């Protein structure tokens, strides 16, 4: 019997895999349903209602200004020195009508082109967490239950066994992520069609979406492989999950607070989420308002630093190689007990 098919079947049959995958899919479905329920398609009726609300708001400001001006004139006529009012009561005026823009009063509408990249970050984050947990549990449970030792009695080639397990894991993650991404995109397109706008959706935009989806897929696979490698290093699922919690809570949060207290420039450049977003969106521009340089107009222009997808690719590649390399080395060198 093929070891790869056996491991793939074992991955699919595990209850933790099924429950975590189902939970991730339910969360993604809830996001799409929430977007559909909270957005509206903008038509003539919505524009007319927003125009009426803008006019109503303007008229309220006009009436307020008239009352305040009358109170100011009465206070000046009585000789009272009321600091609430300016010296010249005529200065109390309502804002001009053009200040009340109709767009302010329009209901929320879903713009597919403008919202896709932001939602891609949420999509990738959810599936990456699922992949990490499933990957860690897949190999960690084998070590803690003694199944790895029994398997090595049947197939004594250690590295082959570990790499086959990893290949089965990545195949399973790939088989879930690709159709989920297609359904997710279809759900967003339907939401934009009935509850928003699909304007300016050219072939170039769809190609950009496809590349974003490919980068998301690669990131999910990398995170799943890292969870697998950490659990293999510690020979327990808790090793990977505890390491992830320590990295996020203690490492990232604590490091961010420490660097902020030390007034380090571009604190976000030291945090992993920045590189994940930069990988998906190709570039993240960080700003340092403390290093403000005045322009010729007198405005403050903060110093900037760009984190690009190239920086992210180097970081993720090095991390993956180190974690998997250490897992393979310990699998080869340590006793199986």
What is the distance between the terminal CA atoms of the chain, rounded to a whole angstrom?
25
Distance CA 103, CA 50 (A): 7
**Integer Rg of the chain from CA:** 29
Closest among 129, 130, 122 to 187, alpha carbons compared: 122
Q: For residues 226-252, give the mean pLDDT.
A: 72
Give tens-digit pLDDT for 15-73: 989 999 999 999 999 999 999 999 988 888 888 888 889 889 988 988 988 888 888 88
Give the number of other Cβ atoms within 10 Å of residue 134's Cβ: 25
Contacts of 322 (CB under 8 A, 6+ apart): none
State the number of CA atoms in the 13 A half-sphere of 119 facing the CB. 23
Give tens-digit pLDDT for 182-196: 999 999 999 999 988
The residue with greater pLDDT, 147 or 65, is 65
| Mean pLDDT (the chain, rounded) | 84
Closest among 50, 175, 28, 165 to 108, alpha carbons compared: 50
Q: In sequence order, which ranges of the chain are alpha helices (DSSP H)? A: 3-13, 15-38, 44-77, 112-145, 147-154, 158-195, 203-234, 237-245, 254-261, 272-281, 309-333
Distance of CA 231 to the CA centre of its chain: 25
Sequence spans of domains, the chain: 3-41+109-333, 44-105
Contacts of 216 (CB under 8 A, 6+ apart): 120, 123, 124, 127, 177, 181, 280
| Phi, psi (degrees; rounded to nearest 5) at 199 | -70, 150
What pLDDT, on the 0 to 100 scale, is given for residue 75? 77
Let me know: does 276 contact 311? Beta carbons within 8 Å.
no
Kindly report the pTM of this predicted structure.
0.82
pLDDT at 333 over 90: no
Give tens-digit pLDDT for 275-295: 999 999 999 988 876 766 555
């Amino acid at each position: 019997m093929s070891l790869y098919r056996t491991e793939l079947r074992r991955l699919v049959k595990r209850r933790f895999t099924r429950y975590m995958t189902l939970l991730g899919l339910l969360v993604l479905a809830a996001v799409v349903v929430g977007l559909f329920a909270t957005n509206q398609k903008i038509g003539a009726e919505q524009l007319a209602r927003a125009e009426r609300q803008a006019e109503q708001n303007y008229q309220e400001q006009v009436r307020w200004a008239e009352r305040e001006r009358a109170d100011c004139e009465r206070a000046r006529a009585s000789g009272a020195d009321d600091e609430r009012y300016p010296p010249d009561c005529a200065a109390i005026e309502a804002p001009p009508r053009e200040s009340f823009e109709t767009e302010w009063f329009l209901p929320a509408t879903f713009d597919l082109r403008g919202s896709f990249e932001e939602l891609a970050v949420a999509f990738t984050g959810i599936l990456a967490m699922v992949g990490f947990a499933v990957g860690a549990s897949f190999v960690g449970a084998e070590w803690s239950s003694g199944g790895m030792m029994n398997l090595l009695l049947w197939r004594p080639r250690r590295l082959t066994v570990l790499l086959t397990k990893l290949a089965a894991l990545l195949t399973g993650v790939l088989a879930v992520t690709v159709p989920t991404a297609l359904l997710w995109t279809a759900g967003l397109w339907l939401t934009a069609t009935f509850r928003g706008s699909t304007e300016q959706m050219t072939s170039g935009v769809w190609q950009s979406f496809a590349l974003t989806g490919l980068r998301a897929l690669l990131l999910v696979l990398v995170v799943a492989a890292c969870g697998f490698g950490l659990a293999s290093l510690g020979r327990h699922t808790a090793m990977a999950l505890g390491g992830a919690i320590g990295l996020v809570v203690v490492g990232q949060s604590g490091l961010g607070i420490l660097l902020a207290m030390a007034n380090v420039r571009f604190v976000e450049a030291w945090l992993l989420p920045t590189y994940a977003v930069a990988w998906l969106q190709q570039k993240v521009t960080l700003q340092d308002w403390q290093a403000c340089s005045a322009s010729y107009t007198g405005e403050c222009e903060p110093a900037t630093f760009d984190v690009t997808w190239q920086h992210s690719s180097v970081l993720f590649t090095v991390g993956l190689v180190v974690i998997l390399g250490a897992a393979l080395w310990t699998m080869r060198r340590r006793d199986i007990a």
